[in-house]
């Protein structure tokens, strides 16, 4: 398989952590239910390709996201004590208790920078959601569990339009103050541009929140995900969320299309001489395999460019 020519660029990190979200954020938006054994095989293939953080599933209520109703079954087939981390998205204390019963070591909570999406996604206000998360984070930390916070609608909201940078920083500060180890800043509907990314990250810095506590989570709705990622790297961010093949979206925001494809991200990072620990050829193979399970091509441009054609 062709690999990118390596041409390093000054001012970028030497190593980046790719936070794989395909099994959770990717598959939650699929119209058909993917069997648990296929999900487990997908996760195993991602780990074999070198991914070391793979968000495995979510303990949301099945009627909200039926695609992830088999969370216990999927987690039951994973080695939760090995060197690969398998975070689980939890909405509340009940979800955390289920994680504790299974031996999960990493969880994530999911908040919103805007009131409308908070109501649509969590059926409560932003402040009420923060209050709901507080005992979850406290108990998780007391149990030695690493906690990540997601903040959605950081660059735009389909109902409220533009989202003020100060508003995003304020809600982010509240999530971090709960005790989250890391905050993933989400462009849920894919409307961010590089200047906007740089301005938001600068505002975080002015608020005393350094890039070491942040990750970025871009959707590629307007084709800006890679450009926005590069802008974040230039600002010192070293953790980037991505989904194998570019699958995914958000079931609660109809205009949110696929995530940044992990292959496209890794191609760019390797071309810049940035270490990821990921075998790109094995990752492409995994997404080609997953495309067959889903019965459709995956959006990743790298997969489309380098994967063998059926006649080959």
Q: Which residues are catalytic?
A: 250
Going 128 to 134 to 140 to 146, the CA torsion angle's sign is: positive
Q: Which two tokens mark 34?
A: 């993917």
Q: What angle do CA 67, 70, 75 make, to 5 degrees?
A: 125
Full strand arrangement of the beta sheet holding 17-20: 17-20, 239-242, 214-218, 182-187, 146-152, 106-112, 88-89, 57-58
User: How many Å apart are CA 29 and CA 253, to the nearest integer?
Assistant: 10
User: How many Å apart are CA 226 and CA 222, to the nearest integer?
Assistant: 11
The partner residues of 109 in beta bridges, in order of sequence, read 149
DSSP label of 35: P
The partner residues of 57 in beta bridges, in order of sequence, read 88
Name the nearest CA neighbour of 278 among 3, 42, 47: 47
């Amino acid at each position: 398989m062709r690999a990118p020519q390596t041409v390093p660029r000054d001012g970028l990190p030497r190593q980046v952590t790719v936070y794989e979200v395909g099994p959770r954020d990717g598959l939650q938006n699929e119209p058909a239910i993917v069997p648990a054994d296929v999900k487990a095989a997908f996760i195993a293939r991602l780990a074999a390709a070198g991914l070391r953080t793979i968000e495995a599933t979510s303990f949301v209520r099945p009627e909200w996201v039926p695609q992830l109703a088999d969370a216990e079954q999927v987690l039951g087939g994973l080695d939760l004590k090995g060197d690969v981390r398998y975070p689980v998205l939890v909405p509340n204390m009940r979800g955390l208790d289920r994680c504790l019963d299974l031996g999960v070591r990493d969880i994530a909570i999911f908040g919103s920078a805007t009131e409308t999406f908070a109501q649509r996604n969590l059926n409560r206000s932003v402040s009420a959601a923060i209050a709901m998360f507080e005992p979850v984070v406290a108990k998780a930390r007391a149990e030695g569990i690493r906690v990540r916070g997601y903040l959605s609608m950081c660059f735009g909201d389909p109902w409220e339009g533009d989202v003020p940078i100060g508003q995003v920083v304020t809600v982010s500060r509240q999530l971090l103050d709960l005790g989250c180890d890391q905050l993933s800043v989400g462009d849920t509907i894919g409307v961010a541009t590089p200047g906007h990314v740089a301005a938001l990250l600068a505002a975080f810095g002015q608020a005393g929140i350094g890039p070491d506590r942040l990750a970025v989570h871009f959707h590629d709705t307007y084709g800006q995900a890679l450009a926005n990622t590069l802008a974040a790297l230039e600002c010192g961010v070293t953790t980037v969320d991505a989904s194998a093949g570019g699958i995914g979206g958000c079931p609660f925001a109809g205009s949110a299309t696929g995530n940044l494809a992990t292959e496209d991200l890794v191609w760019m990072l390797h071309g810049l001489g940035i270490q990821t620990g990921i075998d790109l050829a094995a990752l492409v193979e995994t997404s080609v395999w997953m495309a067959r399970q889903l019965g459709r091509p995956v959006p990743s441009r790298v997969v489309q460019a380098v994967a063998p054609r059926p006649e080959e």
